[in-house]
């Protein structure tokens, strides 16, 4: 069990995560110095990881997968059958192969991804999750009131659309393949990828034609 805690309670108890307690920043710096001095971590590796999260991994990876699935039916078939392999074809998996599953939105079915127990999220294709995805509001409500959550995002679905919520309880990771919007028939893969938003791949938004 965790022992006695010495937490700083000078931070704002809002739930957005925007308010930054400077005491925490100092404590993080102190821990980092200690771990480096003990030889437990390499500071250059630490910098490289931060840089990768800030500049290399992110929802543009997922958008490329979606745009390719929209324009290449054979690729889409492979993606729906074995998403991990199909995503690694795009080339940004490195040596890691997370167990990916793609779920497709249609006019009859809308998929929404959540992790009620923590914050599991398909980092490989979407990067780090936004604050709202990790919030108690989203995690508590997405399973009991997904239509209400979608309303918070400005998306109202009719009763004729089935809502499927995917609660990420294991090391399987879910990516929503949004519907290709009408009016994009003449667009190429790159132009389509630019339309695909992070939120549409979590299932809280639709992709909108320009």
Partner 1 sequence: MNGVHDLGGMHGFGPVRPEANEPVFHAPWEGRVIAMRRLMGAWPGYNIDAGRHAIERLPPVDYLGFTYYQKWFQSLIDQMIASGTITPQELTSGRNAAGVPVATPPITIANVAKSIAPVGSFQRDTGANPRFTAGDTVRARNIHPEGHTRLPRYVRGHIGTIERDHGAHVLPDSNAHHQGEAPQTLYTVRFAARELWGSARNEADAVYLDLWESYLDPA
Instruction: Tell me if 50 contacts partner 1 by CB under 8 A.
Output: yes
Instruction: Tell me if 35 contacts partner 1 by CB under 8 A.
Output: yes
Find the catalytic residue in 22, 33, 118, 140. Answer: 118
Q: Does the annotation count 118 as an active-site position?
A: yes
Interior CA angle at 147 toward 145 and 151, to 5°?
115
Instruction: Tell me if 169 contacts partner 1 by CB under 8 A.
Output: yes
- Report which of 120, 127, 111, 122 is spatially closest to residue 177, judged by C-alpha positions: 111
CA distance 39 to 25: 21
Instruction: Tell me if 70 contacts partner 1 by CB under 8 A.
Output: no
CA distance 87 to 2: 39
- 118-157 residues in contact with partner 1 (CB under 8 A) are 118-119, 123-124, 127-128, 130-132, 134-144, 146-147, 149, 152-153
Q: Which residue of 98, 155, 181, 184 would you call a contact of partner 1, by CB under 8 A? A: 98
Instruction: Tell me if 194 contacts partner 1 by CB under 8 A.
Output: no
Instruction: Tell me if 191 contacts partner 1 by CB under 8 A.
Output: no
Beta bridge partners of 109: 162
Instruction: Tell me if 168 contacts partner 1 by CB under 8 A.
Output: yes
Rounded to a whole number of angstroms, the distance between the first and last alpha carbons of the chain is 53
**Distant-in-sequence, close-in-space partners of 106: CB < 8 Å, separation ≥ 6:** 179
Q: Does the annotation count 200 as an active-site position?
A: no
Find the catalytic residue in 84, 115, 168, 200. Answer: 115
Q: Does the annotation count 120 as an active-site position?
A: yes
Beta bridge partners of 145: none
């Amino acid at each position: 069990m965790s022992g006695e805690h010495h937490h700083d309670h000078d931070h704002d108890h809002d739930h957005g995560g925007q308010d930054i307690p400077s005491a925490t920043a100092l404590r993080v710096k102190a821990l980092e110095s200690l771990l480096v001095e003990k030889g437990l971590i390499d500071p250059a590796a630490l910098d490289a990881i931060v840089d990768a999260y800030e500049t290399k991994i992110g929802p543009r990876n997922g958008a490329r997968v979606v745009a390719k699935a929209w324009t290449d039916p054979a690729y889409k078939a492979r993606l729906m059958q074995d998403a991990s392999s199909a995503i690694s074809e795009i080339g940004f998996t490195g040596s890691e192969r997370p167990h990916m599953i793609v779920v497709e939105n249609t006019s009859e079915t809308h998929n929404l991804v959540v992790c009620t127990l923590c914050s599991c999220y398909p980092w490989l294709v979407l990067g780090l999750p936004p604050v709202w995805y990790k919030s108690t509001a989203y995690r508590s409500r997405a399973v009991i009131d997904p239509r209400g959550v979608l309303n918070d995002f400005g998306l109202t679905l009719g009763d004729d659309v089935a809502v499927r919520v995917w609660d990420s309880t294991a090391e399987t990771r879910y990516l929503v393949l949004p519907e290709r919007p009408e009016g994009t028939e003449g667009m190429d893969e790159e132009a389509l990828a630019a339309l695909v938003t992070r939120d549409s791949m979590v299932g809280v938004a639709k992709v909108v034609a320009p």
